Amino acid sequence: MKSEDATVLVLNSGSSSIKFKIFHGRDVFLAGRIEGIGTSPRMVAKAGSGNGEVERKLADDADHGAALEAAFTFLFAQFPNMRVDGVGHRVVHGGTAYAEPVLIDDGVLGDLERLCPLAPLHQPHNLAGIRAVRQTFPKVAQVACFDTAFHRKHPWVNDTFALPRSFFEEGVRRYGFHGLSYEFIVGKLAEIAPDIPDKRVIVAHLGNGASLCAIKERRSVGSTMGFSALDGLPMGTRCGQLDPGVVLYLMQARKMTAEEISDLLYQQSGLKGLSGISSDMRELEASSDPRAREAIDYFVFRIRREIGAMAAVLGGIDGLVFTGGIGENSAHIRALVCRDMDWLGIGMDDAANDENRMRISREGSAVKVLAVPTDEERMIARHTMKLLGLAGCE
For 164, other C-beta atoms within 10 Å of its C-beta total: 10
Q: 239 phi and psi, to 5 degrees?
A: -75, -30
- In this structure, are residues 179 and 146 in contact, taking their beta carbons and an 8 Å threshold? yes
Active site residue 147: yes
Return the H-helix or E-strand segment holding 31: strand 27-35
Instruction: Answer yes or no: are the C-beta atoms of 240 and 357 closer than 8 Å.
Output: no
Query: Which letter does DSSP use for residue 122 in this model?
Result: T
Q: Which residues are within 8 A (CB) of 84 and not within 5 positions of it... i.e. 6 or more apart?
A: 7, 8, 9, 22, 137, 140
Distance from the first to the final alpha carbon of the chain:
14
Question: CB under 8 Å to 53, separation ≥6 — which residues?
Answer: 44, 45, 46
Q: What's phi and psi for 323, nearest 5 deg? A: -150, 180
| Residues contacting residue 386 through CB under 8 Å, at least 6 positions apart | 101, 394
Which residues share a beta bridge with 7? 24
Which H or E run includes 219? strand 219-223
Distance, in Å, from the CA atom of 213 to the CA atom of 170, rounded to the nearest integer, reads 24
Angle at 235 between CA 232 and CA 238, to 5 degrees: 85
Instruction: List the one residue out of 304, 305, 231, 237 whose CA is nearest residue 271.
Output: 237
Q: Which residue is catalytic, options 147, 159, 318, 375?
A: 147
327 class by beta-carbon count within 10 Å (0-12 exposed, 13-18 middle, 19+ buried) = buried
Active site residues: 147
